[in-house]
Amino acid sequence: MLTIRNLSKTYANGVHALNDVTLDIPRGMFGLLGPNGAGKSSLMRTLATLQEADSGTATLEGADGASIDVLRDKDAVRRQLGYLPQDFGVYPKVSAEDLLEHFAVLKGLTVRKQRREVVDGLLKQVNLWDARKRKLGTYSGGMRQRFGIAQALLGNPRLVIVDEPTAGLDPEERNRFLNLLAEIGENVAVILSTHIVEDVTDLCPTMAIMNKGQVLLTGKPNEAIAALNNQVWRKQVSKATLPDYESRHTVLSTRLVAGYPVIHVFSSDLPEEGFVQVDPDLEDVYFQRLRLQAKPAMQAQA
């Protein structure tokens, strides 16, 4: 269990990256959903001990059951942590096997036989065993991400953080990678930070939605979706009339279908003739929370 209370961070340029963030993250897959610039990476970097918070607390339950102060006892956290950042470099002329061995030594696995067992086991777990002798520069994007997970799992971490891990992956590699994360999440807490709604829908029993450094919603995706039942409506409109609909209704999303915008509108009653009620999904929940956050700001400007 990772417990975060009132975590705040403001950068030197005045950006409020984290604003009183409070979360409880249990064992299993936890989805952290939000657009680019929401504060997700700032939160991940703070939890990974790569930057300081201005205020607040974060505690991680260690292997012995004792609580670790994430913000102050950084060495203890790093021994319990696996981290896959959004962008991570590899040595393109080094094989996966050799580089993972190097990382294993840095993690304290100095006994050669034990280290070989761990490295071989991880390469098999992430399905890179047959490619272990290949240079990392020849790996596809998905293979590099799976190698990144292998290095993150060195040392049997209690907490694994992955930041935008499926960005740029083709559908097959994305599915393979998400299945791997789901297996890992059976034993440890895994924070999946992403702006891809489907990743959270498919994988995460619990989640949070963030934007502009604030937590807008926490809970179970299915319960959040159920809360919008009978309140999402769809209609195909023309491009010319789209601005009028946006001014009169809470438009959650707009998608072009055969060249015409199809809008989803949030309303407790039929918005007007021509709308059809549809079953909500997590994308509707996501956009509804963003629209609610934006509404006070727009009213203040008006």
Residues 197 and 263 grouped into a single domain: no
pLDDT, tens digit (0-9, with 9 covering 90-100), for 85-97: 877 777 889 999 9
Domain count, the chain: 2
Is residue 57 very low, low, confident or very high in pLDDT (cuts 50, 70, 90)?
very high
The verdict on 49 and 101 lying in the same domain is yes
Look at residues 184, 219, 254 and tell me which one is the last residue of a structural domain.
Answer: 219
Number of CB atoms found within 10 A of residue 244's CB? 11
Residues 96-120 have pLDDT tens digits of 999 999 988 888 888 889 999 999 9
User: Are residues 215 and 236 both part of a single domain?
Assistant: no
Is residue 169 located within the same domain as residue 80?
A: yes
Q: 217: exposed, middle or buried (C-beta count within 10 Å: 0-12, 13-18, 19+)?
A: middle
279 band by pLDDT with thresholds 50, 70 and 90: very high
| Same domain for 251 and 110 | no
Q: Span 268-288, mean pLDDT? A: 93
Average pLDDT on 41-58 reads: 92
Residue percentage of the chain with pLDDT more than 70:
96
Same domain (yes/no): 39, 181:
yes
Range of the domain at 99: 2-219
Looking at residue 52, which CATH number applies to its domain?
3.40.50.300
Which residue, of 198, 219, 240, is where some domain finishes?
219
Are 199 and 253 found together in one domain? no
Whether 63 shows a pLDDT value over 70: the answer reads no
CA distance 235 to 223: 25
192-240 pLDDT, tens digit per residue, is: 988 888 888 878 999 999 999 999 999 999 999 999 999 999 999 999 9
Model confidence, pTM: 0.85
- pLDDT exceeds 60 at position 153: yes
